[in-house]
Amino acid sequence: MTNGIRHGLFTIPSGTGFLKRLAEGLLTMSQENQGDDFALTRMRVLLPTRRAGRELRDAFLGLSKGKPLLLPRLQPIGDVDAEEIELYLSGYGATGYDIPPAISSIERQFLLAPLIQKKDPSLGLDAALSLAGELARLIDTVHTEDLDFKGLQDIVPATLATHWQKTLEFLEIITTYWPMILADRGQIDPADRRNRLLKSLAQLWREHPPETPVIAAGSTGSIPSAGELLKTIAGLPQGMVILPGLDVELEAESWENITDTHPQATMRNLLERMNKTRADVRIWPEAAGRSSHRAELLRSVMRPADRFGVTDHASLTQGLKDLNIIETATPREEAAVIALAIRETLETPQQTACFITPDRMLARR
């Protein structure tokens, strides 16, 4: 670290308060630039969502104890502005990236619906619109994974060719006719445009590295184009990629055997894309020594099946500390117990409570 500048790959362990630790680190970096009152404002922080940006702003507000503070530029990683890229390039006398505008979701749905009705005239408009929404999601999924529809006819074995042929004929809507409509309108799909913008920004920064810090925090690079941008940022002179809860203590055997459904899988894939290993990832200084006592318990629960049971008993005992299980006879009784526990916590000074459940009916009770 020099003059408040950090560089490379970092992680903030789970259970340590990701956004608060991030805000503390950025404030520390800005304060280390003595005499530069605007060091914080020159930072660009790329976050996974707009909500994360709002919560990071609140974290800064909490650290400043309500005093006015000029914040960094907070931006969702997928919200790239084509005009900004053009403006950036103009400063280098370079040519721009000709990226067509994206078609709106509702406009796309209403354009796809008549194509569906032509394939099946028996469908009403409401059914056609519903199918159009599903086709639009399929289009976006393919673009998000940076794939295309080439070779679609070869997916299904020849033994199912007759049935699959009917599906292919229906999918001509998006493989043949839809690209023609977009080309005629001079538009592209939203996910396609996002991919092109992210790739353009990555190329731009590789060729013309920013002179100010760029921090990508909280993203795991699950979208290939975003992963490429993260790789670029990690290699910038003032670039930082801060991964959320990378398990740097999981033993090598388990790390190599985790499957694509494991929570750590996307970060492992991202590191492989970057040609990096966990040894290249440092703990964010403000999060050092703050590992949660539940970490080993969660690590044991999520360990691959063939590695289950390697955790020592003492670590599990510590992870189970203050963990209670209450069995109830009815959902109503369950809701009442939870409500009482939350009420007791909230009536205790300096205590907070959090209720997490996938059961919406339970949450309403």
pLDDT in tens, 292-301: 677 777 887 7
Sequence-distant (≥ 6) Cβ neighbours of residue 322 within 8 angstroms: none
Q: Which tokens in the block code for residue 37?
A: 């009152």
So what's the pLDDT on residue 85?
67
Shortest CA distance to 299 belongs to which of 248, 260, 243, 356?
248
How far apart are the C-alpha atoms of 238 and 214, rounded to whole Å? 6
For residues 204 and 66, state if they share a domain. Answer: yes
9 touches 281 (CB < 8 A): yes
Q: Which tokens in the block code for residue 294?
A: 């539940």
In a domain, 131, yes or no: yes
Q: What is the C-alpha radius of gyration for the chain, rounded to an integer number of angstroms? A: 25
> Percent of the chain beyond pLDDT 70?
88
So what's the pLDDT on residue 66?
74
For residues 213 and 88, state if they share a domain. Answer: yes
How far apart are the C-alpha atoms of 106 and 201, rounded to whole Å? 27
Residues of the chain with pLDDT under 70: 1-5, 34-35, 80-97, 156-161, 292, 308-315
In a domain, 233, yes or no: yes
So what's the pLDDT on residue 130?
95
Domain of residue 280: give its range.
Answer: 8-93+199-292
Q: Which tokens in the block code for residue 296?
A: 């080993």
Looking up residue 70, the CATH number of its domain turns out to be 3.40.50.300
For residues 228 and 284, state if they share a domain. Answer: yes
| Chain mean pLDDT for the chain | 86
For residues 223 and 339, state if they share a domain. Answer: no
How far apart are the C-alpha atoms of 223 and 359, rounded to whole Å? 29
In a domain, 138, yes or no: yes
Q: Which tokens in the block code for residue 35?
A: 């005499």
Crossing angle for the helix pair 190-207 and 224-234, to the nearest 10 degrees: 20
So what's the pLDDT on residue 94?
54
How far apart are the C-alpha atoms of 74 and 136, rounded to whole Å? 29
So what's the pLDDT on residue 314?
67
Instruction: Dihedral sign for Cα 99, 102, 117, 154, please.
Output: positive
So what's the pLDDT on residue 126?
93
The sheet carrying 73-76 orders its strands as 73-76, 44-47, 214-217, 239-244, 8-12, 281-283
Domain end point (choices 187, 222, 256): 187
In a domain, 100, yes or no: no
In a domain, 244, yes or no: yes
Q: Report residue 229 CA to chain centroid gap.
A: 13
233 touches 241 (CB < 8 A): yes
Structural domain count, the chain: 4
In a domain, 194, yes or no: no
For residues 297 and 317, state if they share a domain. Answer: yes
Domain end point (choices 158, 187, 216): 187
Phi and psi at 216, nearest 5°, equal: -105, 115
Indicate whether this model's pTM tops 0.85: no
For residues 284 and 299, state if they share a domain. Answer: no
How far apart are the C-alpha atoms of 199 and 284, rounded to whole Å? 27
How far apart are the C-alpha atoms of 288 and 58, rounded to whole Å? 22
Residue 303: exposure state from Cβ atoms within 10 A (0-12, 13-18, ≥19): buried
How far apart are the C-alpha atoms of 193 and 206, rounded to whole Å? 20
In a domain, 152, yes or no: yes
So what's the pLDDT on residue 3?
47
So what's the pLDDT on residue 68?
84
232 touches 207 (CB < 8 A): no
So what's the pLDDT on residue 131?
95
44 touches 213 (CB < 8 A): yes
So what's the pLDDT on residue 363?
85
For residues 245 and 280, state if they share a domain. Answer: yes
Phi and psi at 10, nearest 5°, equal: -135, 165
For residues 227 and 298, state if they share a domain. Answer: no
Domain end point (choices 135, 165, 187): 187
224 touches 145 (CB < 8 A): yes
Sequence-distant (≥ 6) Cβ neighbours of residue 94 within 8 angstroms: 207, 208
So what's the pLDDT on residue 86?
62
Three-state secondary-structure class, residue 334: helix
Phi and psi at 102, nearest 5°, equal: -90, 145
For residues 312 and 338, state if they share a domain. Answer: no
In a domain, 353, yes or no: yes
So what's the pLDDT on residue 1?
42
For residues 225 and 245, state if they share a domain. Answer: yes
So what's the pLDDT on residue 343?
92
For residues 75 and 213, state if they share a domain. Answer: yes
For residues 131 and 258, state if they share a domain. Answer: no
